[in-house]
Amino acid sequence: MTSRTDGSTPPDDPAPQHPTMPEVNRITAEDIRASLKAGFADFLARPVMSGFFGLFYAVFGILLVWSLVWLGKIWMIIPAIVGFPLVAPFAAAGLYDMSRRMQKGEPFGWSDILTVMAHQRKREMGWMAFVTLFIFWVWMYQVRLWLAIILQDASFSDFDGFLNTVFFTPEGWTFLAIGTCAGALLSAALFTVTVIAMPLLLDRDIDFVSAMLTSVRAVTENPVVMLGWAAIISVTVLVSMVPAFLGLIVTLPILGHTTWHLYQRAVVPAQA
């Protein structure tokens, strides 16, 4: 005989439960101001540890330029410097984790922060690193393409010659105009998909596609505010790179901590 049980029997293969997408808030310029204040406070709370990430980023930039000079790739120096800020969101992952822990009142040491990316290996942060580096590669490749098309007969035997060709010839002006437009589009695309996605991936167990879509929604629903934040980041980083990248030792940590607090304001907190 077949036994019977009271009530309904659950299906053998229930439909998978998909996580809900994070909700985004409307933010204002006041949120940027408050986030900058909080980011500066985080930097002052742990200046040595925060400054370490800025120093690492600055040293990486110096080594990048030195390597290009050593390899004789003089033409790549300017596009490399201009594209260098594209990888800043990934470089600031440790800063996001510092702000997260300070906000929760959690104690932490050097090992906790320096291994933050290793702790993310089973999650989706690696894919965001791939997206960031891929866009940087596209930036460098398209610069080389436009150089070949527009400045094909120019000689770049030294850095002065490259600067003279780019800034004092009609072909150089055309190259700068096209390169600036292409760079602006790539920078806007990368900022849109990472500005919220990076801290979101660190904060929640979410896939990188959902994180990028959330970032896109946060930008599209707050276009003016996010455009202002992108401008602050771009100008600050580029100016900080003028004194041999050394300004980044202070500015990158502050911008990284600030991005965490802006993320907290732009995305509705997860339900407990």
pLDDT, residue 47, reads 95
Q: Which comes out higher in pLDDT, residue 184 or 27?
A: 27
**Confidence at residue 3, expressed as pLDDT on a 0 to 100 scale:** 45
145: amino acid identity, one letter = L
Q: Kindly state the average pLDDT of the residues 146-170.
A: 75
Residue 22 inside a domain? The answer is no
- Residue 271 inside a domain? The answer is no
Whether the pLDDT of residue 12 is over 60: the answer is: no
pLDDT at residue 122 in the model: 58
Does some domain include residue 6? Answer: no
pLDDT at 118: 64
- Is residue 134's pLDDT more than 90? no
Structure tokens at 124: 């989706």
pLDDT at position 26: 94
DSSP SS3 for 193: helix
158 or 224: which leads in pLDDT: 224
Average pLDDT over every residue of 163-188:
83
**pLDDT reading at 245 higher than 50:** yes
Average pLDDT over residues 118-141: 75
Confidence category of residue 101, pLDDT binned at 50, 70, 90: very high
pLDDT value, residue 259: 94
Domain boundaries, position 51:
29-266
What's the number of domains the chain is made of?
1
CB contact at 8 A, 128 and 211: yes
Does residue 111 form part of some domain?
yes
| 3 found inside a domain | no
pLDDT band at 5 (very low <50, low <70, confident <90, very high): very low
In the chain, what percentage of residues exceed pLDDT 90? 31
Mean pLDDT of the chain: 83
- How far CA 134 is from CA of 86, 189, 226, in Å, comes to 10, 12, 23
Do residues 248 and 58 make contact, with C-beta atoms less than 8 angstroms apart? yes
Asked, for residue 247, whether it belongs to a domain, the answer is: yes
- Residue 266's pLDDT is 95
Judge whether 1 lies within some domain.
no
Residue 4 clears pLDDT 80, i.e. is over it: no
* Residue 187 included in any domain: yes
Is the predicted pLDDT of residue 33 greater than 60, yes or no? yes
Look at residue 8 in the predicted model and tell me its pLDDT. 46
pLDDT at 1: 46
- pLDDT-derived band at 7 (thresholds 50, 70, 90) equals very low
Task: Work out the pLDDT band at 204, boundaries 50, 70, 90.
Answer: confident
* pLDDT tens digits, one per residue of 210-228: 999 999 999 999 999 999 9
**Can you give the pLDDT at residue 2?**
45
Instruction: Kindly report, residue by residue over 39-67, the tens digit of the pLDDT.
Output: 999 999 999 999 999 998 899 888 988 88
Dist CA 135 CA 256 (whole Å): 20
Q: Residue 267: what are its φ and ψ, rounded to 5°?
A: -120, 135
Picking from 44, 26, 54, 38, the residue whose alpha carbon sits closest to that of residue 236 is: 54
